Structure 1
Amino acid sequence: MLKMLERYHNCTYGSMEIDRSTTNAEQNSYKEYMKLKAKYESLQQYQRQIFGEDLDPLSLKELEQLERQLDSTLRQIRSIRTQSMLDRLSELQVKENMWIEANKDLQNKLEQVYAENQAGQSWAAALENGCSYEQQHHHHPQSQGFFQPLDCNPDLQIGYNTVDSRQLTATTSGQNVNGLVPGWML
C-alpha cells in the first residue's frame, strides 16, 4: 500500500512540477517574443526615419545624429562603388592589353602568310619565265647579303632534253682534252 501511495503522490505532484516548468518556459518564450517584437518595431521606425518618414517626433539633436549617420553611410557606399569601378576598370585594361597582344600576333601571322603567298607567286612566275626571284624583283647583291642573283637564260627549259648519241660522243671527247677533269665540271 505504501508503494501505491508513493506512486499516486509522484504522479500527482510530479505533473504539477512539469506544469510549472512548462508555464515558466512559456512565460520566458513570451517575454523573448515581446522583446523581439519591440526591437522589430523599433527597427521599422528607424528605417522609416532614414527614408524621411515619421520625422515629427524626433528632436533636433536626433535629426542631426540621423543626418550624420546618413552622410557616413553614403560615404561608405560611394567608396565601395568607386573601388568596385576601379577594380572593374583594371580588369578591363588587362583584357584590353591581352586583346591588343593577340591582335598583334594575328597581324604578324597574317603578314607572314601574305609574304609567303607573295614569295610563292613570285617563285612560280620566275619558274615560268626561267629567271630567279631576285632577278625578277631587281634586287641588288648588296641588299641581299649572302644571296646573290643568278644570271639565267630566259629560254631555259627545265626537264629532259633528248640528246643524240653523236652529240654525246662529240661532247665527251671534247671535254676530255686535258684528260683530268671533264669540261662540264670546270
Structure 2
Amino acid sequence: MSLRGVRKKKDQILSEEIQELSRKGNFIHQENVELYKKVKLIEQENMELYRKAYGARDVSAANATGFAANHGFTVSRDVHGSIQLQLSPPAPQNSETAETATESR
C-alpha cells in the first residue's frame, strides 16, 4: 500500500471516530437536557409539597435555597445552552448531629 493510501485510510478512520464522538456528545447532551427537565419538575413538585406543608410563610426561603442546593448538586448553563450537573461535597456534620445519627442506628 502506498503512502497516499495509508494517509487516506488514516484520515477516513479519524473522520469516522470524530463522527462517532460527535454522535455520543449529542446523545449525552440530550440526556443532560432531559435530566435538567426532570430536576426542574422535581423541584416544582417539592415546592408544591413545601407550600402544602408549611404554607406561604416560608416559600421565599424555600425558593432561595432550592431543591438542587438542598440535595448536594448544582445545575448551570453555559453560553451555548448546554447543561452541566455537578455534585457538591457532602456538608460536614456537627458533633451533635453525628451522635444522634449514630444512636438512631
Aligned counterpart for 1:117 among listed residues 42, 52, 64: 42
> Structure 1's 121 and 138: CA in aligned 2 closer, same or farther, altered over 3 A?
closer
Match of 2:21 in 1: 96
Tell me the TM-score normalised to structure 2 length: 0.52
The letter for the 1-side match of 2:42 is N
For the pair shown, the structure with the greater C-alpha radius of gyration is 1
User: Structure 1 unaligned runs (5+)?
Assistant: 1-75, 140-186
- Distance in 2 between the 1:131 and 1:90 partners? 57
2: CA distance between counterparts of 1:132 and 1:97?
A: 48
Question: How many pairs are equivalent?
Answer: 64
So what's the TM-score if we normalise by structure 1? 0.31
- Which string of whole-angstrom CA distances, capped at 9 and with x for unpartnered residues, describes residues 11-44 of structure 1? xxxxxxxxxxxxxxxxxxxxxxxxxxxxxxxxxx
Gaps of 5+ in 2: 65-105
Q: 1:127 aligns with which of 25, 44, 52?
A: 52
CA distance in 1, matches of 2:41, 2:57: 16
Identity of aligned residues (%): 8
Q: State how 1:47-58 maps to structure 2 within 5 Å.
A: none
* Larger strand fraction of residues: 2
Deviation at 1:98, TM superposition (A): 1.0
Divergent runs of 4+, >2 A: 132-139
